[in-house]
């Protein structure tokens, strides 16, 4: 049984300001209509497989569930209590896969990579599956198109003359430019894609040999699992004892069973805006333009607009990215340095490192339209059937104005309906709840006023989504 395992726990800081900690790149569309998470699973095409296992962070669980539901995927969502890198995450998935089928074969895929030619990728999957059935730990090695310093490399023991796996001679860290050029010229090196095919039991065997304490902690965490709505939670305390290591460091560089299948399918890890430009559709001047963009005398530039007109004149080799609350401009040579901006924002406790202006919740979303001293305005959208928690605030009052749909409002001891153009007032300290009983999205304007307007000014008395924080 083939079980796709999708690793969806990354942060994507190099793609700021589009990718943020609370809404990272795997949940975004990077050019198409679907998110990268959904595109990752869609790449399977007609390949026979069992229900996928998606491993993601606690904070992203509702994003993952909603995107999978909308795309029609029935998947198990396995929650990491905290980020411990790929080796422990894959261990959890392997234990869960073997719970379904002791002979399960895992197809491990990061949720934030792009493959321009899915058919070629599926063709490479066939020999990888055969190698995995034979007990090999197979990785996909991307045939390099240039001397890239942003990827790790795999040296193959020999390059195959026919489709099939070959032993891995060694894994190499991201090289300097001169070394990368020598690797590419030799014809023996491939880019390390971070995609794997392996039997679940073989991975656990190799992990037990290389990192027995990690496996013991991961197993204890998995054995302490419990179902929570549509999610599977593992025990947090034992999982925290797992050493934070990638599968490459923990297993692949130590095992004698590592093999590689060459892959030429237009792969990219989309790890920077430079990489996003490379995989994007470009015009005759080499420009990748997305959104409301006007470009004159512009060359080899990426411009992405999400909320307003962006005009670029007489520039070249730039990355210009606009969101409702931030604009990033950088030279393409500085693509890898964008993550430093994120670190600076985090150190200065600026919210832009973490959240977009529009914040997604399991019931819908809200957009912070305007904020000033002692008041702020939000546009709130509640999906059909969505239900906010029963709650109260100690420092703010709220005015609600319905602009579309129907709202069911609980305010103190009363419950009533509001239609379009009707409004209500929620005094400070009064218990309240907002619901959408209709079949269309509920949209309303919320005006908050008070001495403190932070999202942590909330006491939940009842919540169908079982949240414990300020989500």
Say if residue 55 is exposed, middle or buried (CB neighbours under 10 Å; 0-12, 13-18, 19+).
buried
The per-residue pLDDT for range 226-272, each reduced to its tens digit, is 998 889 999 999 999 999 999 999 999 999 999 999 999 999 999 89
Number of domains in the chain: 3
Segment 442-467 shows an average pLDDT of 93
Q: Is residue 67 part of a domain?
A: yes
Same domain assignment for residues 34 and 182: yes
Alpha-carbon distance of 125 to 110, in angstroms, equals: 15
Same domain assignment for residues 323 and 371: no
**Residue 249 belongs to what domain range?**
2-268
Please count the other Cβ atoms lying within 10 Å of the Cβ belonging to residue 459: 12
Is there a cis peptide before residue 17, judged by omega within 30 degrees of 0? yes
Same domain assignment for residues 303 and 174: no
Segment 191-209 shows an average pLDDT of 98
Segment 9-33 shows an average pLDDT of 89
Angle at 323 between CA 320 and CA 326, to 5 degrees: 80
Same domain assignment for residues 324 and 377: no
Alpha-carbon distance of 263 to 281, in angstroms, equals: 21
Same domain assignment for residues 127 and 146: yes
Same domain assignment for residues 89 and 68: yes
Question: Hey, is 103 helix, strand or coil?
Answer: coil
Same domain assignment for residues 75 and 153: yes
| Domain boundary, last residue among 297, 316, 341 | 341
State the pLDDT confidence band at 24, using cuts at 50, 70 and 90: very high
pLDDT number for residue 469:
55
Q: Any idea what the CATH number is for the domain that residue 425 is in?
A: 2.60.120.10
Q: Is residue 353 part of a domain?
A: no
pTM of full prediction above 0.85: yes
Same domain assignment for residues 122 and 213: yes
Same domain assignment for residues 264 and 278: no
In this model, does residue 393 exceed pLDDT 60? yes
Q: Is residue 221 part of a domain?
A: yes
Q: Is residue 93 part of a domain?
A: yes
Q: How far is CA 145 from CA 15, 182, 255, 278, 315, in A?
A: 22, 13, 28, 12, 27
| Domain boundary, last residue among 268, 302, 326 | 268
State the pLDDT confidence band at 467, using cuts at 50, 70 and 90: confident
In this model, does residue 274 exceed pLDDT 90? yes
Alpha-carbon distance of 429 to 171, in angstroms, equals: 59
pLDDT number for residue 117:
96
Same domain assignment for residues 334 and 440: no
Both structure tokens of 204: 């656990």
pLDDT number for residue 420:
96
Same domain assignment for residues 304 and 386: no
| Domain boundary, last residue among 268, 300, 324 | 268
Q: Any idea what the CATH number is for the domain that residue 200 is in?
A: 3.90.550.10
Same domain assignment for residues 263 and 286: no
């Amino acid at each position: 049984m083939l079980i796709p395992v999708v690793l969806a726990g990354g942060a994507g800081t190099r793609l700021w300001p589009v990718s943020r900690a609370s809404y990272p790149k795997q949940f975004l569309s990077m050019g198409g209509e679907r998110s990268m998470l959904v595109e990752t699973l869609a790449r399977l095409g007609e390949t026979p497989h069992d229900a996928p296992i998606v491993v993601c962070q606690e904070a992203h669980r509702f994003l993952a569930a909603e995107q999978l539901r909308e795309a029609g995927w029935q998947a198990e969502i396995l929650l990491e209590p905290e980020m411990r890198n790929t080796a422990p995450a894959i261990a959890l998935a392997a234990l869960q896969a073997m719970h379904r089928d002791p002979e399960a074969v895992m197809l491990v895929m990061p949720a934030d990579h792009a493959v321009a030619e899915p058919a070629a990728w599926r063709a490479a999957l066939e020999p990888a599956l055969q190698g995995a059935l034979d007990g090999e730990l197979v990785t996909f090695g991307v045939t390099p198109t240039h001397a890239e310093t942003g990827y790790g490399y795999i040296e193959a023991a020999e390059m195959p003359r026919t489709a099939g796996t070959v032993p891995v001679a060694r894994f190499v860290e991201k090289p300097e430019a001169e070394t990368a050029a020598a690797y590419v010229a030799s014809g023996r090196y491939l880019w390390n894609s971070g995609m794997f095919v392996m039997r679940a039991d073989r991975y656990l065997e190799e992990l037990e040999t290389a990192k027995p304490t990690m496996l013991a902690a991961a197993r204890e965490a998995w054995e302490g699992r419990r179902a929570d709505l549509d999610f599977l939670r593992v025990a947090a305390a034992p999982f925290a004892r797992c050493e934070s290591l990638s599968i490459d460091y923990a297993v692949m560089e130590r095992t004698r069973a590592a093999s590689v299948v060459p892959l030429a399918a237009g792969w990219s890890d989309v790890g920077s805006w430079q990489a996003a430009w490379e995989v994007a559709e470009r015009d005759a001047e080499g420009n990748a333009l997305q959104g409301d963009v006007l470009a004159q005398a512009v060359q080899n530039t990426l411009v992405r607009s999400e909320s307003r007109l962006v005009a670029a004149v007489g520039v070249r080799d730039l990355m210009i990215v606009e969101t409702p609350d931030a604009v990033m401009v950088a030279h393409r040579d500085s693509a890898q340095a964008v993550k430093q901006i994120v670190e600076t924002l985090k150190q200065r406790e600026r919210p832009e490192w973490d959240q977009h202006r529009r914040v997604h919740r399991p019931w819908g979303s809200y957009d912070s339209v305007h904020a000033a001293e002692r008041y702020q305005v939000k546009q709130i959208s509640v999906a059909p059937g969505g239900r906010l928690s029963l709650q109260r605030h100690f420092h703010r009052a709220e005015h609600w104005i319905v602009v579309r749909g129907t709202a069911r409002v609980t305010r103190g001891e009363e419950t009533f309906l509001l239609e379009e153009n009707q409004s209500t007032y929620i005094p400070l300290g009064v218990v309240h709840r907002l619901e959408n009983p209709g079949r269309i999205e509920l949209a309303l304007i919320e005006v908050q006023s008070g001495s403190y307007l932070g999202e942590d000014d909330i006491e939940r008395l009842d919540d169908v989504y079982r949240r414990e924080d300020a989500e």
